């Protein structure tokens, strides 16, 4: 188990809470936008097909962003739970301590840098999936 000082725990806790609030606000805004776009048929009917497709693509894009935000929110909440139960900061793969710098940059990180690289290499990464 990784021991953090009270100050460090507080720092991570505050960082996670802030990001959590940001994500919730962003998700609510994006969902409200997507709803508005969908319940505005008048705006769609006066435009030509090309604009309509563009509007739909914009909604789809918003929803893709919302999905990504929800995933990040889940990761943040999981990190907050780990912080509460005292397992925060240890790599889920090798059990080693995740570097403090890495946690400061990504408080929701569940793997150390080495295991994350290995994980991304094995899963093919986002770039590999594009091809």
110 near Zn ion, judged by CB under 5 A: no
Q: Whose Cβ is closer to Zn ion: residue 25's or residue 94's?
A: 94
SS3 4: coil
Question: What residues from 82 to 101 belong to the interface with Zn ion (CB under 5 A)?
Answer: 91, 93-94
* Least separation in angstroms between CB 112 and Zn ion: 4
* Minimum CB distance to Zn ion, residue 48 (Å): 54
109 near Zn ion (CB under 5 A) = no
Q: Is 115 in the site for Zn ion (CB under 5 A)?
A: yes
Dist. CA 109–CA 111, nearest whole Å: 6
# residues near Zn ion by CB under 5 A? 5
CA distance 73 to 32: 18
Of 22 and 93, CB closest to Zn ion: 93
Does 112 help bind Zn ion (rule: CB under 5 A)? yes
The least CB distance from residue 101 to Zn ion, in Å, is 15
Q: 95: helix, coil or strand?
A: coil
For position 103 contacting Zn ion by CB under 5 A, the verdict is no
Contact (Cβ atoms closer than 8 angstroms) between residue 121 and residue 92: no
Q: Which distant-in-sequence residues (6+ apart) come within 8 Å of 8 by Cβ? A: 100
**Using CA atoms in the order 55, 56, 59, 60, what is the torsion angle rounded to 10 degrees?**
-140
Binding site for Zn ion (CB under 5 A): 91, 93-94, 112, 115
């Amino acid at each position: 188990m990784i021991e953090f000082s009270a100050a460090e725990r507080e720092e991570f806790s505050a960082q996670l809470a802030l990001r959590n609030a940001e994500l919730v606000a962003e998700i609510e805004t994006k969902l409200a936008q997507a709803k508005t776009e969908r319940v505005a048929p008048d705006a769609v009917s006066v435009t030509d097909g090309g604009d309509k497709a563009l509007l739909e693509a914009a909604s789809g894009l918003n929803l893709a962003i919302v999905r990504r935000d929800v995933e990040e929110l889940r990761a943040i909440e999981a990190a907050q739970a780990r912080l509460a139960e005292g397992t925060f900061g240890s790599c889920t793969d090798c059990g080693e301590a995740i570097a403090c710098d890495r946690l400061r940059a990504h408080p929701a990180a569940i793997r150390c840098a080495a295991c994350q690289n290995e994980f991304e290499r094995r899963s093919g990464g986002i770039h590999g999936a594009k091809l």
